[in-house]
Amino acid sequence: MAKILVVDDDPDFQNATRIVLEKEGHTVISAKSGDEGYQRAKEDRPDLIVLDVMMDSVLDGLSMSRQMHDDASVRGIPIIMVTSIANTDYAELFPTDEYIHIRAFLSKPISPSDLIKQVNKLID
């Protein structure tokens, strides 16, 4: 199975996501900010990243995805971006163009079946 990095500052989301993914046989590692997530991606070379948008800053996850895109050593790792930004005042700040270097997007709250479906699609 896959090694999956979950990057989110919400420990409840991290734990729930870990439970869902480990139940499917995946190994889960975690980080609580974009900077920490980027370092973990470089060190641990996960097969997939589940990345929140809003952490230390409003678009912290987006910044991490851009950093990864600019770094050939981690550029190929698929990213599933997750967020509840669509339900906030920050929704208009979220870009919808080529600046987003992700493979899938899920809005919180995420159903376990939707998460597993996207993970399976991207690691196969």
Domain carrying residue 14: 3-123
CA 98, CA 27: separation in Å to the nearest integer?
A: 30
CATH code: domain of residue 73: 3.40.50.2300
Confidence band for 42, pLDDT divided at 50, 70 and 90: very high
Count of structural domains within the chain: 1
User: What does pTM read for this prediction?
Assistant: 0.89
pLDDT higher than 70, residue 96: no
Strands 104-107 and 79-83, bridge-based pairing: parallel
At 79, is the secondary structure helix, strand, or coil?
Answer: strand
3-state secondary structure string across 80-124: EEEECHHHCCCHHHCCCCCCCCCCEEEECCCCHHHHHHHHHHHHC
HSE value, Cβ hemisphere, 13 Å, CA-based, for 123 = 22
